Amino acid sequence: MKKFGFLGRVISHGITLLLGVLLTFSSLRVMSSQADTIASTTGNERKPTQIALQEQGNKAVKTSTSFVNAAIAKTGPAVVRVDTERTVSQRVDPFFNDPFFQEFFGDRFREQIPQERQVRGQGSGFITNKSGIVLTNAHVVSGADRVIVTLKDGREFEGQVTGTDKVTDLAVVKINPQGADLPVAPLGNSSQVAVGDWAIAVGNPVGLNNTVTLGIISTLARSSAQVGIPDKRVDFLQTDAAINPGNSGGPLLNERGEVIGINTAIRADATGIGFAIPIDKVKAITDTLAAGKQVPHPYVGVQMISLTPELAQRNNSDPNSTFLIPEVEGVLVMRVMENTPAAQAGIRRGDVIVSVDNQAIKTAEDLQSLVDKSGLNQTLKFKIRRSDRTLTLNVTTTQLAQMS
């Protein structure tokens, strides 16, 4: 693919800055013995940890009214460990099919090589309904042949994956309580979360069950592209509460012990930067996944970046640019995928999308959000700047195909 000259270098530089993002899923082939120390926190804006010593005879008794302790007592029993097993086929080295090899060793040596191997993984989750509905990440249970759900009190249940959605990285696992009384995690409202609010992460990082870490909400609505996983369609909550491999699928709680998000990913190149799926997004699709149905994700089929007049001007002044870009604010089409609504509508690489259905488009996030909210099989009017022309093209959304 030809580069855009200056713009191409900007894009290339930007991509190098999007360093790896780790989905917080733990493989049991690698374990850690690292222990973490959790510091007490105080503040005038929150009720501080209060420890009172009461004399009972000659004996001192310590009592705690920590909001963290109260939150975990409320929700902790509903947090579970999710263990998975899956069978992976191994590719036989072509060397073993070589006639020279077979002449001297025959097939017996090759038959001794295992053709399959078992891979085990571990993540977290939480129960949201006494009927046995467990929420976790899609990447925790993806491809699993067997799922075991273990409660904090030691009870184990076989789990059945009823639905996964890789676009939002969410999954529902169903367990049969068999008459047992299951603890349930109360769900909060992520729309009411503010930067600076307390954030409590609960899960099973690096195999250390029932681990609790404390931090704050660092940022709201961090886009998937900013996080470094552009194939997802989620605006994440960012937190500095410690999240590690094995935390995937576990809850992020507010100070009242309500679930405000599902812990999902961390930045591999940083410390104290973790991401959670807002619980309001989870609520919107849980019933669909529990019923085994496909979550609708409208799609038009373009790869894009946000464009400003300044960026376009700098590209146009570069003598190595392959063509000129309209010096406007909008979304620059970097690639049109084959056999997609955008291709069928006549959108081309280098077009600038400036509005959809008369709504101004200033960033790639604006366009993605509008398409997401439009619904399936909806015809949208794209206003396009192409060189010195302005075009209006009708684009009909379709379902995004999820990669296996």
Annotated catalytic sites, by residue?
139, 169, 248
Tokens of 45: 């804006």
351 near 333, Cβ under 8 Å?
A: yes
Tokens of 372: 């997401």
Distances (CA, A) of 52 to 43, 65, 239: 18, 9, 31
Reference 27, options 165, 206, 236; nearest CA is 206
Neighbours of 347 (CB within 10 A): 23
Dihedral of CA atoms 332, 337, 342, 344 in degrees, nearest 10, equals: 140
H-state helical runs in 276-392: 279-290, 309-316, 341-345, 364-374
List residues bridging with 179 in a β-sheet. Answer: none
Q: How far apart are CA 127 and CA 185, in angstroms?
A: 6
Q: How far apart are CA 2 and CA 247, in angstroms?
A: 41
Q: How far apart are CA 232 and CA 238, in angstroms?
A: 15
Q: How far apart are CA 283 and CA 276, in angstroms?
A: 14
> What DSSP letter does each residue of 344-373 carry, written as one string?
HHT--TT-EEEEETTEE--SHHHHHHHHHH
Q: How far apart are CA 331 and CA 397, in angstroms?
A: 18
Q: Coil, helix or strand for 283?
A: helix
Q: Coil, helix or strand for 314?
A: helix
400 φ, ψ (degrees, to nearest 5):
-70, 125
Tokens of 136: 């976790």
169 near 258, Cβ under 8 Å?
A: no
